[in-house]
A and B are shown apart, each in its own frame.
Chain A
């Protein structure tokens, strides 16, 4: 459009006033609500879609008239970016909101301290004690396996790694990060079938360890690379052997970051359902022994409450409450990890 209005004596083209996006947004919301009520559209999502469409179109037409085509394109990009952001926030907000809202219904001390042992899938009552025990044991064993191997591998890559072996390890760590959790579960399952063993918490922990190792390697590697070389050189120059340099100088310097990485990895595997479904199988009773017999776990509990209950409200309530517990657990781990990262921020020596 060539209707650019040029103020005499001004180098700038005409601009829409600063409040115009808000005005257009308000207008389009009002129109869409009106349209929605008039046409009897029930879904609020559709109202939102109509409003955002009106907003983008309105911005373009107005800006093209007042400011010219290039500015109008800029405005349309801005409004599209905002709309995309708001569109994405809606489901994510809804997810958190519905989990909290429905989760608090049955979440109390009784729920946290009782199992599903004598409670039918569709009856009210029962709790998640057995699932919490299972999750803690499986994740704990997985961490005990994966964290040392992961940290040692990262030490190898950063402190020793040169040549073909290091390159191969780096490449396959990357590849391992992308393994779907169910494939890791199937791998351990194939081992169980070959060794003729049955379900146990330990088998699940092995699969979780496979998922955890590459994450630990990656984050530890990044942290070790942040340790300034001067520290290593100073220690080596004093005649300290390399392994003591790594243990006493490099690792303590990076320990905050490594802890953060391990905790984030724990948070990631704590929510894995698929391998647990294949290997631990689920169990309504309390089983404290991870090496013998089927166990429960929080994510698996959520799935089974949802899938096995044939739509019973009591089971859905339990599923939401367990989901809230799981999210709280994961979020606390995440926040604590970030807290440690900030508190022990890598001392880069600069």
Chain B
């Protein structure tokens, strides 16, 4: 079977031969070998040190700022670091970050899975190669360009949709719109969805490609339609892969700075409506407040960045754990 693999299965024995300990020790006594091993191992250790340093230094500066905070760091609806009595809290930022990312995920995941299915199971073969290539390239478009496009092209185009949502769903409160420019959480969520679409699509496509051909053919032989093949053979096999792809996308959406900073018109309140401007996210707040912040203000921003760091670590760690667990039992499909 020539199903293409992304994971580290390819050649017969991917790892170098495991040397007998005695021989390895003797080989390493050559001076050249010692130096080279030292360099290579040193680089690895350096990477670990950088990670540790990030955590330590952020915590250090953040602790200094939080101890001066006159408000509650977790629940205050204000960000005022200039005066002698600084008051700042991350409640609004946490809310905005979660809401915009959830909107992005709700839109992007189904569409990305559908595109991945389209590329692997529906598109004519001649088309699917170039399309996958283009989606690869789109993943490389810098986020500031998405931000510029979102602010100058997407925002004016949202008015129609917002008016419609306000007319028919405005009574829920969530889709209430006062008619201002569409620089709101929903627009941010849609823009984030466009941005994370390529990465979720790419990973899901690789997973769907690995579905054992036999499973699909068996389902077809039983008379299943193409949709039934996908539901019975492809999706169950790809589920954990799609979940981890989505979480990688979520990690991107949580930490996205420039696209949110250009599109959102922020304030420090939690709004019930997704259509009216206002709110903020961790990364956006750092980018927009940084310019006028003094040294203490920068420490306060570092404190909010630390929270973002911890959140993305948890999300990415979970995604990696799911991928790793999947690797263990995917040996059966080689």
Binding site for B on A (CB under 8 A): 41-43, 45-46, 70-71, 73-74, 76-78, 80-82, 84-85, 87-88, 91-92, 94-95, 98-99, 148-150, 152-153, 155-162, 165-166, 168-169, 171-184, 186-187, 189-191, 193-194, 210, 213-214, 217, 222, 225-226, 228-229, 232-233, 241-244, 246-247, 264, 267-268, 270-274, 277-278, 299, 302-303, 306-307, 316, 319-320, 323, 326-327, 330-331, 334, 348, 350
Contacts and interface: CB of A to CB of B under 8 A. Distances in A.
Nearest to A299: B144
Contacts of B258: 273-274, 299, 303
A160 B53 contact: no
B211 interface: no
B308 A180 contact: yes
A274 B149 contact: no
A contact face: mostly helix, strand, loop, or mixed:
helix
B140 interface: yes
Given A77-B227, A299-B144, A348 B254 contact: no
B160 A152 contact: no
B316 A177 contact: yes
Given A193-B61, A194-B57, A232-B16, A186 B286 contact: yes
Interface in B226-270: 226-228, 230, 248, 251, 254-258, 261-262
B137 to A, nearest CB: 6
B44 interface: yes
B330 to A, nearest CB: 17
B214 interface: no
B130 interface: no
B187 to A, nearest CB: 12
Chain A CB within 10 A, most for which of B11, B230, B301? B11
9 contacts: A43-B159, A70-B228, A76-B227, A81-B118, A148-B43, A153-B47, A186-B302, A187-B58, A334-B140
Given A174-B320, A334-B140, A82 B122 contact: yes
A78 B227 contact: yes
B290 A156 contact: no
Nearest to A217: B47
Interface stretch (B31-39, B66-74, B81-89, B171-179): B31-39
A269 to B, nearest CB: 10
Contact of B118 (A84, A175, A225, A327): A84
Contacts of B197: 88, 92
A178 B319 CA distance: 10
Contacts of A270: 142
A157 B40 CA distance: 9
B305 interface: yes
A92 B138 contact: yes
Given A91-B194, A180-B308, A241-B32, A326 B142 contact: yes
**Those 10 A-B pairs whose CB atoms lie nearest each other, nearest first:** A271-B142, A180-B255, A43-B160, A178-B316, A84-B114, A243-B36, A156-B40, A74-B225, A152-B43, A77-B227
B160 A46 contact: yes
A327 B142 CA distance: 7
Contacts of B11: 225-226, 228-229, 348, 350
A156 B14 contact: no
A178 to B, nearest CB: 3
Nearest to B114: A84
B51 interface: yes
B299 interface: yes
Contacts of B308: 180, 182-183
A79 B196 CA distance: 23
B208 interface: no
Interface of B: 8, 10-18, 27, 30, 32-33, 35-37, 39-48, 50-51, 53-54, 57-58, 60-61, 110-112, 114-115, 117-118, 122-123, 136-138, 140-149, 151-154, 157, 159-161, 164, 194, 197, 225-228, 230, 248, 251, 254-258, 261-262, 283, 286-287, 290, 295, 298-299, 301-302, 305, 308-309, 312-313, 315-317, 319-320
B60 A190 contact: yes
Contacts of B141: 95, 271, 327, 330
A158 B42 CA distance: 15
Contacts of A94: 149, 153
B47 A173 contact: yes
B160 A41 contact: yes
Nearest to B138: A92
B227 A190 contact: no
Contact of B8 (A76, A180, A225): A225
A41 B301 CA distance: 44
Given A222-B8, A271-B141, A91 B154 contact: yes
A190 B137 contact: no
A160 B41 contact: yes
Nearest to B162: A43
B145 A271 contact: yes
A193 B295 contact: yes
B48 A169 contact: yes
B46 A149 contact: yes
B54 A302 contact: no
Contacts of A232: 16-17
A106 to B, nearest CB: 15
A155 B40 contact: yes
Nearest to A155: B40
Contacts of B16: 158-159, 229, 232
A92 B194 contact: yes
B10 A271 contact: no
Given A78-B122, A160-B37, A264-B140, 4 more contacts: A84-B114, A95-B149, A274-B286, A303-B147
Contacts of A183: 54, 58, 255, 305, 308-309, 312
A272 B143 CA distance: 7
B301 A186 contact: yes
A169 B283 CA distance: 27
Given A178-B312, A302-B144, A159 B262 contact: no
A264 B313 CA distance: 24
